[in-house]
Structure 1
Amino acid sequence: MDRTLKGLLAGIIGAIPMNIINFIFYGLKLTEIRFIDWASIIMTGSLPNDLNSIIYSLFVQIIWSGALGIGLAYSISLINSKGYLIKAIIYSFMVGFTFRGIVVLYQVPELYKISAQTSELNFIPAMVWGLTAAYMLRKLDRFRQVH
């Protein structure tokens, strides 16, 4: 398996716990938006309002997470693989900070005016994504060495 596929797979696997945590925060009314809301607004211009749009938005968000995993895989391999967990956290923070900055800069409806609590809590599942994706990259690299 090449670096691109490993990154894609690691990013997709990382999206699972990330979305679970994000859904829990949203369900407990700790946050105002979900990551699937971002995907839905970018893809359709509106929030997901029925089961079909929720499933579609979740699918898009998971594939996007896979694409970010490709970026993480190449970033880690370019620098070196030592300290990969901290590098993954930094990568996750930089990606989240960049996306948040773009949303605020362009005042994307439904996304740019959120509470500080939502903004702060959304970084937790993003960091979990980074840790999970980096861990999976490490496992996939070691799997190749063993087999």
Structure 2
Amino acid sequence: MKSKINIIQKPLDLHQEYFWLNNCTESGAIVTFTGKVRNYNLGDLVTGLTLEYYSGMTEKFLQQIIQEASNRWFLERVNITHRFGKLNPGNEIIFVGVTSVHRTEAFAAIEYLVDYIKTYALFWKCEKTNFGYRWIEVNASDNDALIHWN
């Protein structure tokens, strides 16, 4: 299995991220997820988002969950590319992609990876709203999503 982890400040190049996954002739399935900055949260207008991360530790955690996913499913390639810095509504935050022989494994792996990244990865989000700034915490629905993986 090959994996690719990038934490970048520049905008995502979705074509480039997909191309790396598609450059695998053994795979029968490629499944991707792209997360974007919403213009609302908790009932408020969001005008910006700042993402910070713990360099070194964040990458180590991402590699660990990639390994855990590859222990559960036969994955050929995994790509996690996440942005940091100041973002605006509509900007892409994250690209997660996997390749596998079969689609069922690829879909399950994507859901698993995204659930764990959203809940546990060492990224901190500060939203700029029409009422000021606030730090975003993991919510109950994110924690609930992990229950079926145990």
TM-score (norm. length: structure 1): 0.33
Give the number of the structure with larger relative contact order, counting CA–CA contacts within 8 Å between residues 6 or more apart. 1
Higher fraction of helix: 1
Higher strand share: 2
